[in-house]
């Protein structure tokens, strides 16, 4: 940034110097297109009433001129509805670079000619012009800051976020931008942005900035930057972003599923009431188990038990655990890029060989005969895994919803009983309690399944007809 707080004598010298240069470069009347005149306009004018802080803010805004042109020439793009923004975006993406530039500079012929010369040497001016146009269209504050500030209550969509993130990247390449073809009407781009993503973007930009600062030309070692360190920075940044989106998808996938059932045109032929019931059942597979099993219902008096259907879809979803869900080659090629949570679940699916669900019955009546409440039904879930790891390790906190049967541990299997708390240490035992590794892995991997079966067991126990 140039010096903005000079003595009057220095300002006079600067003014004469600028005028002399302009005389050499421009004919009479062309001074208004002078880069130096535009750059030092406020400094050469009367700024006596402006504070030092105000002057700093004034000169720090590289978009000042473009903002002024936007207010004059982009009035028809202001405060438009999503469908109108989609139309203009699609039109912009078909226009050549020269046509984009003319949107702001069409009447400023002298300035436009000079911008063509600048654009021939760098894409920065084209990027700034496109950023100005798109930001104005989306009603977002015009700047290069990665955190987008809306100027209206209209929500920002993911398509708008992707476009502006591209245009605010200092390494922007127009060929790459056009190749991506970010279409706002695409269903993936129509979703409303959760503004907590801005925190992740700021972290990513901070990582990149720190990386560039550390490896600027002044600080480069003789043999160049440490490539492994650069890769680590980029990988850590990617994992933070990937983890954010993974959490978003995991946290709301049941709501997205219900929304798709309600609005999908392909199933519009179904009765509205049926679609709503199916959507409600679908959304229930992500609900807390207490909200499902605690709901009162009398299935025997109903034509359709929505509660039972919700329980069935929840169990079906939780039992979808086999190795067919993942690809071994994809896992091997992407392990380093995965978050710890994703890698754990992928590996766990790969180890799971399927399952077998069956029941066993016991008659608890010494006198014989079938009378009410004498038959015990055991639901058995058998899960073979491609791992034989029976080692023990210290574990301070016992599991609340599942108990290992220590009398039936062998090199081939362990038996877990859902709905019962694992035993505490004995009072006279001063050693740390030990857990079976396979048991602990299964409990972490299938926490939702264990909680579900425990809730189902408690629900059946409360049913007076059982």
What DSSP letter does each residue of 190-240 carry, written as one string? Answer: HSBPPTTHHHHHHHHHHHHHHHHHHTSGGG--TT---HHHHHHHHHHHHHH
pLDDT digits (tens, 9 = 90+) for 87-104: 888 888 888 888 888 888
Mean pLDDT of 185-211: 72
- pLDDT at position 76 is 79
Among 91, 90, 74, 82, which residue's Cα sits nearest to residue 129?
A: 74
* Segment 216-254, tens digit of pLDDT: 444 444 444 455 666 676 777 777 777 777 777 778 888
Distance CA 414, CA 407 (A): 9
Q: DSSP label at 62? A: T
**What DSSP string describes 266-319?**
GGTTS-HHHHHHHHHHHHGGGS-HHHHHTS---GGG-SS-HHHHHHHHHHHHHT
H-run or E-run covering 73: helix 64-73
451 CB-near residues (< 8 Å, 6+ apart): 289, 401
pLDDT bin (cut points 50, 70, 90) of residue 206 is low
Task: Check residue 253 and give its pLDDT.
Answer: 86
Place 314 in a pLDDT band, splitting at 50, 70 and 90: very high
pLDDT of residue 315: 92
The whole-angstrom separation of Cα 26 and Cα 51 is 33
The pLDDT of residue 221 is 47
Percent of the chain with pLDDT over 70: 78
DSSP conformation class of 156:
P
Mean pLDDT of 387-405: 83
Question: What pLDDT was estimated at residue 396?
Answer: 75
Span 102-147, pLDDT tens digits: 888 765 556 667 777 777 777 888 889 899 989 988 888 888 888 8
The pair of three-digit structure tokens given for residue 170, joined into one six-digit string: 């200092």
Query: CA quadruple 6, 8, 14, 15: dihedral positive or negative?
Result: positive
**pLDDT score recorded for residue 397:** 80
Q: Residue 110: what pLDDT?
A: 64
Helix (H) or strand (E) holding 378: strand 375-382
Q: Residue 382: pLDDT above 90?
A: yes
C-beta of residue 193 within 8 angstroms of C-beta of residue 161: yes
Q: What is the pLDDT of residue 211?
A: 54
Identify the pLDDT of residue 313.
92
3-state SS, residue 363? strand
Structural tokens at position 74: 């982009």
- pLDDT mean over 178-199: 80
Q: Which of 129, 15, 6 is nearest to 62 (CA)?
A: 129
| pLDDT surpasses 60 at 386 | yes
pLDDT tens profile 353-374 = 989 999 988 888 777 677 777 8
Q: Which residue matches tokens 């409990």?
A: 443
> What was the pLDDT predicted at 17?
80
Predicted pLDDT at 451: 92
Residue 335: pLDDT band (50, 70, 90) is confident
Task: Check residue 139 and give left, alpha or beta (phi > 0: left; psi -120 to 50: alpha).
Answer: left
**What is the overall mean pLDDT for the chain?**
79
């Amino acid at each position: 940034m140039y010096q903005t707080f000079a003595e009057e004598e220095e300002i006079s010298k600067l003014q004469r110097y600028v005028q002399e240069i302009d005389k050499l470069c421009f004919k009479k009347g062309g001074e208004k297109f002078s880069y130096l005149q535009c750059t030092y306009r406020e400094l050469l004018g009367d700024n006596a009433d402006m504070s030092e802080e105000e002057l700093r803010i004034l000169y720090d805004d590289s978009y000042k001129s473009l903002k002024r042109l936007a207010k004059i020439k982009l009035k028809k793009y202001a405060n438009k509805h999503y469908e109108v923004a989609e139309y203009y975006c699609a039109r912009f993406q078909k226009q050549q670079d020269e046509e984009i530039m003319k949107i702001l500079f069409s009447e400023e012929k002298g300035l436009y000619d000079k911008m063509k010369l600048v654009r021939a040497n760098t894409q920065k001016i084209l990027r700034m012009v496109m950023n100005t146009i798109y930001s104005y269209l989306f009603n977002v504050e015009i700047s290069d800051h990665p955190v987008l500030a809306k100027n209206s209550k209209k929500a920002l969509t993911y398509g708008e976020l992707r476009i502006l993130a591209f245009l605010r990247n200092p390494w922007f390449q127009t060929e790459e931008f056009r190749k991506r073809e970010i279409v706002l009407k695409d269903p993936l781009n129509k979703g409303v942005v959760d503004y907590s993503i801005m925190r992740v973007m700021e972290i990513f930009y901070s990582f990149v900035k720190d990386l560039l600062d550390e490896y600027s030309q002044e600080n480069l070692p003789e043999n160049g930057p440490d490539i492994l360190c650069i890769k680590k920075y980029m990988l850590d940044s990617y994992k933070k972003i990937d983890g954010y989106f993974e959490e978003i998808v995991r946290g709301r996938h049941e709501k997205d599923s219900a929304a798709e059932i309600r609005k999908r045109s392909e199933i519009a032929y179904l009765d509205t009431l049926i679609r709503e019931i199916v959507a409600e059942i679908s959304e229930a597979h992500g609900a807390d188990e207490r909200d499902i099993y605690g709901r009162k219902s009398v299935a025997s008096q109903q034509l359709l038990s929505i509660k039972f259907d919700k329980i069935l879809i929840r169990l079906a979803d939780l039992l979808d655990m086999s190795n067919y869900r993942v690809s071994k080659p994809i896992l091997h090629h992407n392990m380093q890029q995965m978050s710890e949570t994703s890698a754990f679940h992928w590996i766990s699916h790969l180890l799971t060989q399927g399952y077998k669900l069956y029941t066993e019955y016991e008659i608890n009546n010494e006198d014989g005969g079938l009378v009410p409440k004498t038959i015990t039904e055991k639901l058995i879930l058998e899960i073979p895994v491609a791992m034989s790891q029976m080692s023990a390790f210290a574990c301070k906190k016992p599991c609340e919803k599942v108990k290992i049967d220590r009398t039936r541990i062998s090199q081939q299997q362990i038996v877990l009983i859902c709905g019962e708390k694992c035993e505490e240490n004995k009072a006279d035992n001063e050693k740390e309690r030990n857990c079976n590794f396979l048991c602990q892995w299964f409990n972490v991997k299938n926490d939702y399944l264990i909680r579900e079966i425990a809730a189902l067991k408690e629900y059946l126990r409360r049913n007076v007809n059982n």
